[in-house]
Structure 1
Amino acid sequence: MGLTRVPGLLFGGDYNPEQWPEQVWQEDVRLMAEAGVNIATVAVFSWSRLEPAPGVYEFGWLDRVLDLLHEHGIAADLATATATPPPWLIRRHPEVRPVDANGTRLEFGSRQGYCPSSPVFRDGTVRLARAMAERYGDHPALVMWHVGNEYADHTVECLCEESARHFRRWLEDRYGSLDGLNSAWGTSCWGQHYTDWTQLSPPRKAPGPVNPTQVLDWRRFCSDALLACFEAEREVLKEVTPDIPVTTNFMSILHHLDYWRWAAAEDFVSDDAYPDPADPTAHVKAALSYDLMRSLKQQPWLLLESAPGAVSWREVNVPKEPGVMRLHSLQALAHGSDGVMFFQWRQARYGPEKFHSAMLPHGGTDTRQWRETLALGADLRRLAEVAGSGTRAEVALVLDWESWWGLEAPESLPSDRLRLHRLLLSWYAPLHARGIAVDLTPPGRDLSAYRVVIAPNLYLCTAEQAANLAAFPGQLVVGPFSGVVDAADQVHDGGAPGPLREHLGLRVEEFWPIPDGGTQQVVTADGTRLTARTWSEWLAVDDAQVLARYLGGPLDGRPAVTRRGTATYLSCLPDDLTPVLDEVLAAAGLTGTDLPAGVEACRRGDFLFLLNYGAATATVSLPIAGTDLLTGRQLHGSVAIAPRDAVVLKPGALPKP
């Protein structure tokens, strides 16, 4: 069974029929069927059309849309339509509008303009979700529910008084007492001791730096507050339509929301991904995001939005060159997606996204974009058997959102140059270049399936997390500025690496961030020189082997990279991690694949995806013989892959000559 009852791979996009005269709808569904579209996302921003006045519902137009889709064999990803509250709700209840850190209440006129803690907003979303479920729960087109849309895209937080009250309740649930909160927040610093819950507030604009634990708890709260909005609707949908899967679209590796917690509340993970065509490394960043999506529930996921061509929200919106839409789509499948969907089906004529590309562009069917849409639909039908297959990874990258929030707090850190996404990519990119499958994992998850676990940074590290990492029998790598604080953002006794000290066999005596424009040389035991540009540390080795030392500067001769047993620690981030990574992979018995530059190799189940992002034809040695599902060719030995082309190899014995 796949993500939905639709067989094979899902193919479609966001459909906004309310933006078009009804006579256009017939042409839409005819062209969808021609392209092989088997699912459409509908009603995402339709609250004001479905409920034009309080308790007054106008479902007729949506009835006709769903009936029309079903008549043409197209399923519906039906949104609950709650992504943007309607004008009547905002004007009757202006307190629903969010307030920023400066105390300004934001005006209506965009999308997602709501306070996540507003009971008026939540009650409205739940009522509409129930009305939608009761009306469409038995409709034959319905195969999945789409709650909200891109949570934390525009509205990350609200700092109004309603949010303050909600935050106080959340804090009371977390700490139980003011004594517990004062202890955790360290309020004896700067005279912040609280004597009544009403004295607490969100971290609004203040004269100087705000208590960092207050900020960390606020980040936790904001993620939970938005999650509660999703869960309130999900509860209603599951009550009325228990057999219809529920999801909401994530936004790749998003700082604001703890996707480990969010994914646990979904039936399956879906994601919106928009690799930048102007970025030559975009495919590596996309692969990292896709591997996160697969890892969140350790099962296939769905690419719910992507761009056929240019987007409309970058400063310069570069279109995708011929073949790139296909290549990006195949990459998502390679990393575990059970479909490829786009924003949007028909290109809008008005609004902020009128220049965002679509499967069916302004120019209609006599366009390159439409021809590529048709071709991709045909490719996905050829790849139908890929749906549902899994990926086995033997390397994992540790990603913890609470640690991320602490690491990138706005103030009070030794340096703000350590950015987690960059740290993740620094390790992921060389693994990706070798064709080594990678999972992402929270630090507390069972790690026994892996040979290598890499924590690029774990600024916040609890004793329980450290114990789980220390119990891992494979090769463990820990990056700089790790094990610094506990869950309350308080420095561990004895300093970093805190509860990881015994396992790593070292102490960090001083953090030594590198000033902008500066460098720190590092030399390995075999004389290889590396360069670090952001961070270094003064280490004291208790019980560890020194693999590399600092060269020059105030840290000259001091340990830079150490190893104790199967645990490696880097006190810096070299530009080139290859020497360290090669040693770790060799110790784990992993080698990877020798790939031409610009070629990605990714296994999904029995299928081998080979994708050429380069500008020249690449010849790739094949580890297996089989059939290219895209062309039907029988392949063995090696294959030449043209620029922006791909091979999806299904293993199997070749016929005898």
Structure 2
Amino acid sequence: MSTKSLGSDSFQLGVCYYPEHWSEQLWDDDFRRMKEMGFSIVRVAEFAWTIFEPEDGRFAFDLFDRALDTAHRHGLKIIMGTPTATPPAWLTHRYPEVLNARPDGVVYRHGQRRHYNYSSPVYRFYCERIVRRMARHYSEHPAVVGWQIDNELNCETNDFHSDADHIAFRQWTRKQYGTLDKLNVAWGTVFWSQTYTDWEQVFLTRPTPSNSPNPHQLLDEKRFISDNAISFARLQADIIREDAPNHWVTTNGLFGRLDNHEMTDELLNFFSYDSYPQFSSLEDPDHRESLRDRKWSLSLSESRSVSPQFCVMEQQSGPGGWVNQMEMPAPRPGQARLWTYQSIAHGADMLLYFRWRTATMGTEIYWHGINDYHNRPNRRVREIAQVGEELGRIGSLITGKSFQASIALLEDYDNVWDSEFDVWVRPLRWKSRDSWHKALQERHIPVDVVYMRESTTLEDLQRYEALVYAHATILTTERAALLDAYVKGGGTLIMGARTGYKDQRGQCRMIPFPGLAADWCGITVEDFTLCNANYPAAGAQWNDSGLSPLSTAIFNEVLSVESETAEIMATYTSEYYSGQAALSRNRYGQGTAWYLGSAFTEEAVHGILDRIGIASPAEGWVELPKQVELAIRGDIAFLLNYSQEPVQLNFLQPVTDLLSGNRLSELSELSPYGVLVIQR
């Protein structure tokens, strides 16, 4: 597990700013007001390539020199963005080979951003040149402290199918496999006569009659895309390390088909995330009343798995939307402050709002910042100024402290990428992830996300009383050995349907389900079915509590006990497998393994949590309603009310809120979107 941190004793609060968008007459007043609001750091330049290089080989730094000098006079530090997310028109016009393409070969054109490919030697040459010129120019500027590489790698699209990408993929596969025989075995090309006899025949996946490419080839394609993006980031990171050695390096995002853990370990001082909680209401409208923006805490937990302490490079501060998509209403009073503390509670030690002022032109004219077009005071300015004052007082008490959790959701990139295309597994993963997060939130049990990697150790896993590896379809021998040792050593491992039946190639093993997990689970899968409207998921009942009901979802597996130490905890009550085993518990070594032959519903999760006995860290000092999230960093407890209504808290012990200084005991009201920060 990474131990990287931001290395600062004080909390750094700031904002994203675009001096190239505004009259220079506004700069001094803007930077003055930033400082007055408690900001200490500003990100600039990540989209300004044309400003730095208006023509091929002609460089101009004067605009940003003046802007940075003005910021420095006001005591602000600067994060420089490398501008490679937005190549200038002269470059894409002269060298169209730098552009990305769709799988069908249609080339993306100039007019937005991130329309380039990582593989083009021409694009890499120009990126290397502009990054080196900028790093050398600003290496000694007293305001500059760090660099953001590019902007949101793999955002907009994480498919790459330019001619240069096909060539790079061919080189990647040749390095991975060495021979076509090994590639053909890994991709199962004997099926449908897909066997390759020359390396020139190897391409990234391309359109097929039923839009169903070779799944094993597709899994490798995603691995290639990740490696290629990291290679592109490495090009820039190495230059900055060489030419600006006193500055730190990060990049922002959390986008698909990119191993952020590997990138951070190899290239970055710490990871940065962009937090826009209102996205959750767009993606999951059925859960707006149950999770809403609170769902974003799980994304922040993903970021924390990359860097225990991290930066939020873009924090939502206003209503969001492009001119044709992503419409988000204005944050209600208190929400921007709530989201700020949500990010901090989950590990952020630096946070910058997006953006200082709403743009008056371009695609993001509806993606609002702290200030509106008119540049006059508004409630968002007042609310964020309050945050700046609060963090100025208490930020140093939080910075550097680790998030505390006794349970973790396990992930790995193989299963994330493989499930993108697997229609049997993808809905299982989403349903179970949502159910576990909601149930844990309602019980005020903080949760980590832990990625299983080659570097993961048994000690990393033994930090947790329980691990949930819900649908590890791909289960390698190395990961299986680690999990076996975890359970034997006293841990509780919880798994679900479709576990363990694929190898690292994505091919199915010819052994009983759940494959390599069978020993510690103590069961095999006798029968299974996908469930849908015509084949509804069966009901079930607990066997140990008066036959109380238990719901299942999406998939049903019938379990068969194979170990004397295994017991059936729940049985199906409907469909043709009524009366057969749905959920098992096996005593294995000093620990316990649970296996549910289904996706996890909230009802199932609550039932399991009742029986494994993981307590909330709220026990003994505060009673909380479901609307409130509890997060713990070191000795600091965050209580966050995501409801638009006030809620009642019952403090069993007197505590003091660090934000207000108020002493709290017995029944206390927490305002809508209110926050309490308590040192214990």
> 1:520 maps to which residue?
538
CA contact (8 A) 1:611 1:647 kept: yes
For 2:550 and 2:112, locate their aligned partners in 1 and report how far apart those are by CA, in whole Å.
Answer: 48
Shift of 1:579: 4.2
Shift of 1:48: 1.2
> 1:239 maps to which residue?
242
After the TM superposition, which residues 433-512 of structure 1 pair with which residues of structure 2 at under 5 Å, given as runs? 433-444=442-453, 445-446=456-457, 447-472=461-486, 473-512=490-529
1:569 maps to 2:595: yes
Q: 1:630 aligns with which of 646, 651, 659?
A: 659
Unaligned runs of 5+ in 1: 652-657
Shift of 1:74: 0.8
> 1:304 maps to which residue?
313
Shift of 1:134: 0.7
What secondary structure is seen at the aligned counterpart in 1 of 2:493? strand
Which moves more between the two structures, 364-373 or 622-631?
Answer: 622-631
Which moves more between the two structures, 497-506 or 428-437?
Answer: 428-437
Overall identity of the aligned pairs, in %: 32
1:423 maps to 2:432: yes
What secondary structure is seen at the aligned counterpart in 2 of 1:512? strand
The TM-score, its normalising length taken from structure 1, stands at 0.94
1:90 maps to 2:92: yes
For 2:268 and 2:496, locate their aligned partners in 1 and report how far apart those are by CA, in whole Å.
Answer: 31
1:560 maps to 2:582: yes
What secondary structure is seen at the aligned counterpart in 2 of 1:250? coil
CA contact (8 A) 1:628 1:635 kept: yes
1:548 maps to 2:551: no
Shift of 1:623: 6.2
CA contact (8 A) 2:153 2:253 kept: yes
CA contact (8 A) 2:436 2:600 kept: no
> 1:616 maps to which residue?
645
CA contact (8 A) 1:626 1:635 kept: yes
Give the AA of the match of 2:609.
D
After the TM superposition, which residues 634-645 of structure 1 pair with which residues of structure 2 at under 5 Å, given as runs? 634-637=663-666, 639-645=668-674
What secondary structure is seen at the aligned counterpart in 2 of 1:101? coil
Q: 2:405 aligns with which of 385, 389, 393?
A: 393
After the TM superposition, which residues 318-337 of structure 1 pair with which residues of structure 2 at under 5 Å, given as runs? 318-337=329-348
CA contact (8 A) 2:4 2:270 kept: no
For 2:326 and 2:84, locate their aligned partners in 1 and report how far apart those are by CA, in whole Å.
Answer: 29
1:362 maps to 2:341: no
After the TM superposition, which residues 17-36 of structure 1 pair with which residues of structure 2 at under 5 Å, given as runs? 17-36=19-38
Q: 2:300 aligns with which of 287, 290, 303?
A: 290
> 1:161 maps to which residue?
163
Q: 1:218 aligns with which of 217, 221, 225?
A: 221
CA contact (8 A) 1:365 1:371 kept: no
What secondary structure is seen at the aligned counterpart in 2 of 1:262? helix
Shift of 1:641: 1.2
Q: Encode CA deviations 1:485-533: one digit per residue, 9 max, x unaligned.
A: 0100111121421111111122224431111473320111121212223
CA contact (8 A) 1:408 1:419 kept: no
Q: Encode CA deviations 1:139-182: one digit per residue, 9 max, x unaligned.
A: 11111110000111113122122111100111111112111111
> 1:655 maps to which residue?
none
- Gap change, CA 1:358 and 1:243, over 3 Å in 2: same
Q: Encode CA deviations 1:238-257: one digit per residue, 9 max, x unaligned.
A: 11223321111023xx4332
Shift of 1:644: 1.3
For 1:67 and 1:427, locate their aligned partners in 2 and report how far apart those are by CA, in whole Å.
Answer: 49
CA contact (8 A) 1:597 1:614 kept: no
Give the AA of the match of 1:261.
E
Q: Encode CA deviations 1:416-446: one digit per residue, 9 max, x unaligned.
A: 6525344222112211222222211123423
1:582 maps to 2:609: yes
> 1:130 maps to which residue?
132
CA contact (8 A) 2:371 2:377 kept: no
For 2:224 and 2:26, locate their aligned partners in 1 and report how far apart those are by CA, in whole Å.
Answer: 45
CA contact (8 A) 2:150 2:251 kept: yes
Shift of 1:624: 5.5
For 2:470 and 2:338, locate their aligned partners in 1 and report how far apart those are by CA, in whole Å.
Answer: 29
> 1:250 maps to which residue?
253
Shift of 1:383: 2.4
Shift of 1:195: 1.2
- Gap change, CA 1:590 and 1:321, over 3 Å in 2: closer
For 2:463 and 2:66, locate their aligned partners in 1 and report how far apart those are by CA, in whole Å.
Answer: 49
Shift of 1:138: 1.4
For 1:348 and 1:464, locate their aligned partners in 2 and report how far apart those are by CA, in whole Å.
Answer: 50
- Gap change, CA 1:515 and 1:318, over 3 Å in 2: same
- Gap change, CA 1:43 and 1:339, over 3 Å in 2: same
What secondary structure is seen at the aligned counterpart in 2 of 1:508? strand
Q: Which stretches of structure 1, 4 residues or more, deviate above 6 A after TM superposition?
A: none
What secondary structure is seen at the aligned counterpart in 1 of 2:316? coil
CA contact (8 A) 1:308 1:342 kept: yes
For 2:261 and 2:497, locate their aligned partners in 1 and report how far apart those are by CA, in whole Å.
Answer: 23
Q: Encode CA deviations 1:63-102: one digit per residue, 9 max, x unaligned.
A: 1111111110111111111111111110111011111011
For 2:47 and 2:464, locate their aligned partners in 1 and report how far apart those are by CA, in whole Å.
Answer: 42
For 1:288 and 1:256, locate their aligned partners in 2 and report how far apart those are by CA, in whole Å.
Answer: 18
Q: 2:41 aligns with which of 39, 42, 46?
A: 39
> 2:393 maps to which residue?
382
Q: 2:64 aligns with which of 54, 62, 65?
A: 62
What secondary structure is seen at the aligned counterpart in 1 of 2:660? coil
> 1:74 maps to which residue?
76
> 2:285 maps to which residue?
none
Q: 1:531 aligns with which of 540, 546, 551?
A: 551
After the TM superposition, which residues 144-293 of structure 1 pair with which residues of structure 2 at under 5 Å, given as runs? 144-208=146-210, 209-251=212-254, 254-264=255-265, 265-276=267-278, 278=281, 279-280=288-289, 281-293=291-303
Give the AA of the match of 2:249.
V
For 1:509 and 1:47, locate their aligned partners in 2 and report how far apart those are by CA, in whole Å.
Answer: 60
Shift of 1:303: 1.1
CA contact (8 A) 2:9 2:400 kept: no
Shift of 1:260: 2.3
Which moves more between the two structures, 566-575 or 314-323?
Answer: 314-323
CA RMSD of aligned residues (A): 2.0
Q: Encode CA deviations 1:575-596: one digit per residue, 9 max, x unaligned.
A: 312443324531x677764521
What secondary structure is seen at the aligned counterpart in 2 of 1:306? strand
For 1:282 and 1:228, locate their aligned partners in 2 and report how far apart those are by CA, in whole Å.
Answer: 36
- Gap change, CA 1:290 and 1:624, over 3 Å in 2: farther
For 1:597 and 1:205, locate their aligned partners in 2 and report how far apart those are by CA, in whole Å.
Answer: 47
- Gap change, CA 1:105 and 1:302, over 3 Å in 2: same
Shift of 1:375: 1.7
> 2:109 maps to which residue?
107
Give the AA of the match of 1:222.
I
> 2:284 maps to which residue?
none
CA contact (8 A) 1:457 1:481 kept: yes
Which moves more between the two structures, 2-11 or 218-227?
Answer: 2-11
CA contact (8 A) 2:82 2:150 kept: yes
Shift of 1:7: 5.2
Unaligned runs of 5+ in 2: 282-287
CA contact (8 A) 2:101 2:107 kept: yes
For 2:6 and 2:350, locate their aligned partners in 1 and report how far apart those are by CA, in whole Å.
Answer: 11
The TM-score, its normalising length taken from structure 2, stands at 0.91
What secondary structure is seen at the aligned counterpart in 2 of 1:129? helix
Give the AA of the match of 1:260.
H
Give the AA of the match of 1:295.
S
For 1:55 and 1:540, locate their aligned partners in 2 and report how far apart those are by CA, in whole Å.
Answer: 70
- Gap change, CA 1:293 and 1:195, over 3 Å in 2: same
